[in-house]
A and B are shown apart, each in its own frame.
Chain A
């Protein structure tokens, strides 16, 4: 059938045909393969029918042959609808304004939600976040990325251990995990304490259990320091009472570390001069929108930031991109041999501190060997460190 919805795409017209013998016109139309439908006799010399817009353009010669006159009564379908729409400029302006407004508003922050925070932490977080520019009415593409916000906020808010940041459409969600101090001491099961490292016992203080070593004893890794069995010395293990051993055993441990420092080093630093370029990238193609001209710095580093635009839940194919060019300069640092040795010792100490527990104490430091080779100072240093060497070994009772 002809009168289905596909006709609406191309559009069709209602036509009145006047003539002495309009049937002739119908037959001509059949010959020319012009499709017409819903033909009605409307009067003595008049028929009314529908035809496609494309076909309506081709009927002029047929009309001349058959001596008929045509009048268009009604225009239906998308092309006519579209033309009428264009003519109503207010409608188009409204549509455009709506889309623009929707686009602008959906790229704004509308809400900042904070979950799981106590009032003071929430207040603090709100202040930090507002200072970063995350507040109602801020545009998403002016804000740093979510990962960055998360990192900065976690650093800046004192009362929170971790702050999770999520962007849910126009809402920023902050999930706060607050610092909590353990409330109760853990309950221990019966255990021994053993050495974690090869060490010389420096000091031993037992709270529970039976000490099995004395100061200045040498212990290897895994040696028992404090026993969980308490009772008479000569009694069998089975007869003794079992307790969770608890003690502080400080041992002296020797560490050896190596450090090398070059005498001359080339550094690159950022001078603070900066130039930004802004782009609108469409499918990976960058269209500059602000910040023209060449970068005049001799040496520079470039960093790119990209922020996608959103409409409702979807990302649009264009993104806002900012390239920052930081001017850099280089300078050379040169050490004398003594300076280099001092720097190497400092570095070795810092290195060592990373590897030992924070409450450990360095009581001695001796340079074993030093030489200068290929413009580098190499050092081997020996450290004496006092640290806690206890580790727990549960006592598993037989069945």
Chain B
């Protein structure tokens, strides 16, 4: 049933050209070079250190690797990270 709904949403987004982040609660990630990364629609911080930031998403996790990390702003659904960003990884461990 849940899968059906997900597929339905996916199909609607494609057909009606709606923004995917709004329809499907996906994260919207804006990066400015290696300096800033701005993430919307996260679900909390799992791990934070100077070299790593692991965020919980609606589906799966987001892992950001780099150096000299500072969280400039953190709001319930938004986060601005500053530092040297090397990698952005999706850890897709689908919980069904």
Contact = CB atoms under 8 A, between A and B. Distances in A.
Interface stretch (B24-32, B58-66, B71-79): B71-79
A-side binding surface: helix, strand, loop or mixed? mixed
B11 interface: no
Contacts of A30: 44, 74-76
Interface stretch (B13-21, B47-55, B88-96): B47-55
A37 B72 contact: yes
A39 B74 contact: yes
B46 interface: yes
A27 interface: yes
Contacts of B47: 23
B4 to A, nearest CB: 31
A39 B70 contact: yes
Contacts of A31: 76
A260 B41 CA distance: 103
A176 interface: no
Contacts, number: 44
User: Which of B45, B69, B74 has the most A CB atoms < 10 Å from its CB?
Assistant: B74
B70 A38 contact: yes
Nearest to A27: B44
Interface in A28-45: 29-31, 33, 35-41
A1 interface: yes
A23 B48 contact: yes
A29 B47 CA distance: 15
A35 B73 CA distance: 8
A348 B3 CA distance: 121
Given A33-B76, A41-B50, A27 B45 contact: yes
Contact of B46 (A23, A40, A41): A23
Q: What band does the interface of chain B fall in when counting residues whose beta carbon is under 8 Å from A?
A: 10 to 19
B-side binding surface: helix, strand, loop or mixed? strand
A395 to B, nearest CB: 97
A271 interface: no
Contacts of A37: 71-74
Q: What band does the interface of chain A fall in when counting residues whose beta carbon is under 8 Å from B?
A: 20 to 34
B13 to A, nearest CB: 27
Nearest to A32: B76
A2 interface: yes
B76 to A, nearest CB: 5
A47 B47 CA distance: 12
Nearest to B52: A41
A26 interface: yes
Contact of B74 (A3, A26, A40): A26
Nearest to B81: A39
Contacts of A33: 76
Contacts of B48: 22-23, 26, 39, 41, 47
Contacts of A38: 70-72
Contact of A2 (B44, B46, B49, B73): B73
A35 B75 contact: yes
Contacts of A41: 48-50, 69
A27 B71 CA distance: 13
Contacts of A2: 73
Interface of B: 44-50, 69-76
3 nearest CB pairs, A to B: A39-B71, A27-B44, A41-B49
Given A26-B45, A37-B71, A40-B70, 11 more contacts: A1-B73, A3-B72, A22-B48, A23-B45, A23-B46, A29-B74, A30-B76, A38-B72, A39-B48, A39-B74, A41-B49
28 contacts: A1-B72, A1-B73, A2-B73, A3-B72, A23-B46, A23-B48, A26-B48, A26-B74, A27-B44, A29-B74, A30-B44, A30-B74, A30-B75, A30-B76, A31-B76, A35-B75, A36-B74, A37-B71, A37-B73, A37-B74, A38-B70, A38-B71, A39-B48, A39-B70, A39-B71, A41-B48, A41-B69, A49-B71
